[in-house]
Structure 1
Amino acid sequence: MLNYRSSLYALAAVLTAALAGCDGKGERAAQESEQGERPVLVAPARYAAQSQAREFVATIRPRVESDQGFRIAGKVVKRFVEVGQRVKAGDPIAALDEQDLRLQKEQSDAEFTAARVAQTQAVADERRAAELRAKGWTAQAALDRARAGGEEARGRFRRAERAVELARNALDYATLRAGADGVVTQTLVDPGQVVAAGQPAVRIAHAGELEAAVALPEAFAAAAGKGEATLTLWSKPGAVYRAKLRELSPAADPVTRTFAARFSILNPDAAIALGMSATLHISASDAQPVVSVPLSAIYNQGAGPSLWKVDGEGNLQLVPVTLVRLEADAALVAGGVKDGDNIVVLGVHKLDPNTKVRVISRQSL
């Protein structure tokens, strides 16, 4: 009996040890399995055509706006126009004090009269010297002196003639006239002010084509001319005007980092006035399809942008992609992935190709 009981006890001890060993191995395997499968948040990639519909605040500006300035220096005595006034080409818009200019004109007239008299006398002396020389009654030197005096008198006469023209022009320049039909948008001088030659005095917006001036961000500047542009006035939201990019600045503003652009208004009407505020709508659809992914899905360690792709067995693969454009909270990428591939969208910097992952799905990208 004792031997039988001893055998049973020994068998129970062996079974207990074996079961304990199995339980330990199973727990370690479960821990290893749990540690090897890292949970990741994924979403299927969905290709779609790029939609670049954007809106920008615009201001109605004239295509040509120029500063009118006096061509001579002087003291402003009168300004004939105010801001908002319409002018026609040749209309007086400001005037300078003419007192000194009239004195210069009188001086040039007097010099012209004297030069004309001197020329008449020199020409007569030259003619008489030539007649005397032909008859042999005078020396050749006397004829040469008469001819030299005649040339000098003619030169002085031409110089006096030009001086009269310059003085007449200066007197005419004392009245500043509009260079084209348009609207006065700014007055830069007041009566009593002394101005230099060429200093801007009045700014005129030329009549004619109107434009919408906007500031485009760097990410959209290159595509601004490819889309269809329309314009709506804040004061008249029901009307839609077609627009076309005419001018794009080649350099960004150093402060705002935006590019100044001008859009021509193709079908303007009387409702559009200078200085109005408007909204410019630009819509474009590129032929190249792209995938929109969260910014957190982009993996870049100096070798270019990439995405982590997960297959059906939980294996990871790092695939390079082309970054098309960055937006506020997403990135548009192309290539590298196919439509429907599962993309890791969170925690990409903690992954490596040897990691086995457990997929947690979210909505499509």
Structure 2
Amino acid sequence: MDTAASGPTPRRVLRLSLLAASLLTLALPLAGCGEETAAQTREAPATVARPVQVTSVAYKPREAEKSFVGVVRARREIDLAFRVGGKVVQRKVEVGDLVKAGDVVARMDPEDLRLELESARAELSAATANLAQTAAEDTRYRSLTAKGVASAADLDRKSLAKEEAVGRLERAKRSLELAENRLSYADLVANADGVVVATAVEPGQVVSSGQTIVRVARLDEKEAVVALPETALADARDADAFVTLWAEPGRQIPARLRELSPQAEANSRTYPARFALAGADGAVALGMTATVTLRPRQQQAVARLPLSALIDRGHGPQVFVVEAATRTLAARPVEIAAYTDDSVLLSSGVAEGEEVVTLGVQTLLPGQKVRTARLPGATDVAERLPAGATRAAALEGGQK
């Protein structure tokens, strides 16, 4: 007992030595395995292709075309009305009928107008007879005055009566002309070629002078009428315009702003605008739905990219471009034309058709090898993915 308490025995020392040697032998392979794993981890970014989302660069005009829907109208619409009041006995046209200048579109009862004409003729006959009588008396009294039989006062009265008869005859002639004109107004005549677009009365209705009977639209000039918001007023004045029809979607008709209202409508707060259609033929019918497109002139071409594609690490704004040959990343300095709410407009720095990384650019490095994926939109991708799928899985599914 005293010997065991005084210190370790040779056999115990031998066991401890063997145990230490075994532990050292096991530690050396484990250390080598850890160094190999760390080395592989350091090499992974350079050798393993990382999936990234990209979009192709496309240069387009900075200001997009603006389109507004309206209708085709005639530049001139004429309200035809009788020039005298009376009872309408016939309306010879309906909506959609073509009329030519001189065609009768409606008739009024002419009986009262014919009576007025007969009265005017009778008045003319009486005025003519009165003038003949007063003229004869004036001649006779001049002869008597010269012989000293009649006084000068009597001659003056006869002369004044003659002058009054002359004026009465002229008035009767004018009344007869007016009566003849009024009788001719019983026929309502179209004064230009066109198409009837509206009717306002029916036969048997009593109308007053100037009341609209039919509305005729002239076909020589056609326009597209649209309502413009206040943000499009400058474009309407300066941009090139063309019109497309729903009936002929492949046809573009040159248009020119002819009239822009200086005041907005009270209800819609929009400004009515009329665009004249150059060369509109018979296929462009009145009332057709027309789309007026405004195309800005002489504007800068820019590439529109998401804001997430832009990165700045102290050397100015850059984007990552995927080199087509090596499928590696290259950092490109870019010139920014403008920012919008969700995108950036580039004026230079990238070429048409190049692929630019749009997500996760903060974690990427130049020269890194990548696999590209095109996603039409986050919403579409989310709808196609199964529940619980990750964004990395989506990128793997869309890689090429």
Q: Provide TM-score, normalisation by structure 2.
A: 0.60
2:166 paired residue among 137, 142, 154? 154
The 5 A counterparts of 1:81-120 are: 81-120=93-132
Distance in 1 separating the partners of 2:104 and 2:83: 14
Judge conservation of contact 2:302–2:337 (CA < 8 Å) in 1. Answer: no
Q: In structure 2, do the counterparts of structure 1 residues 286 and 256 end up closer, same or farther at CA, with 3 Å as the change threshold?
A: farther
Distance in 2 separating the partners of 1:339 and 1:173: 74
Higher RCO (CA-CA < 8 Å; seq separation 6+): 1
Judge conservation of contact 2:63–2:299 (CA < 8 Å) in 1. Answer: no
CA RMSD of aligned residues (A): 3.0
**Larger fraction in helix:** 2
Distance in 2 separating the partners of 1:64 and 1:344: 43
The 5 A counterparts of 1:335-346 are: none
Return the offset for 1:208: 0.3
Listed as ranges, the gaps of 5+ residues in structure 2 are 1-59, 307-311, 315-333, 343-359, 363-400
Tell me which residue corresponds to 2:46: none
> SS at the partner of 1:242?
strand
1:75 paired residue among 87, 93, 111? 87
The 5 A counterparts of 1:303-318 are: none
Identity %: 46
1:233 paired residue among 242, 245, 267? 245
Tell me which residue corresponds to 2:317: none
Distance in 2 separating the partners of 1:169 and 1:224: 48
Return the offset for 1:260: 0.7
Return the offset for 1:135: 2.3
Tell me which residue corresponds to 2:156: 144
2:66 paired residue among 54, 58, 71? 54
1:172 matched to 2:184? The reply is yes
2:133 paired residue among 121, 140, 162? 121
Tell me which residue corresponds to 1:133: 145
CA offsets 1:2-61 (integer angstroms, 9 cap, x no match): xxxxxxxxxxxxxxxxxxxxxxxxxxxxxxxxxxxxxxxxxxxxxx96414111112111
Tell me which residue corresponds to 1:15: none
1:184 paired residue among 185, 196, 212? 196
1:255 matched to 2:267? The reply is yes
> SS at the partner of 1:224?
helix
Q: Provide TM-score, normalisation by structure 1.
A: 0.66
1:195 matched to 2:176? The reply is no
CA offsets 1:212-269 (integer angstroms, 9 cap, x no match): 1111111102220211111111011111111111111111111101111111111222
Return the offset for 1:207: 2.6
Judge conservation of contact 1:229–1:282 (CA < 8 Å) in 2. Answer: yes
1:216 matched to 2:234? The reply is no
Report the residue type matching 1:203 in the other structure: R
The size of the alignment, in residue pairs, is: 264
CA offsets 1:74-105 (integer angstroms, 9 cap, x no match): 11110011111111111111111111111111
Return the offset for 1:339: 5.8
Report the residue type matching 1:173 in the other structure: Y
Q: In structure 2, do the counterparts of structure 1 residues 291 and 113 end up closer, same or farther at CA, with 3 Å as the change threshold?
A: farther
**Larger fraction in strand:** 1
Return the offset for 1:119: 0.7
Listed as ranges, the gaps of 5+ residues in structure 1 are 1-47, 295-309, 313-337, 347-359
Tell me which residue corresponds to 1:9: none
The 5 A counterparts of 1:317-356 are: none
Distance in 1 separating the partners of 2:110 and 2:260: 44
Report the residue type matching 2:210 in the other structure: G
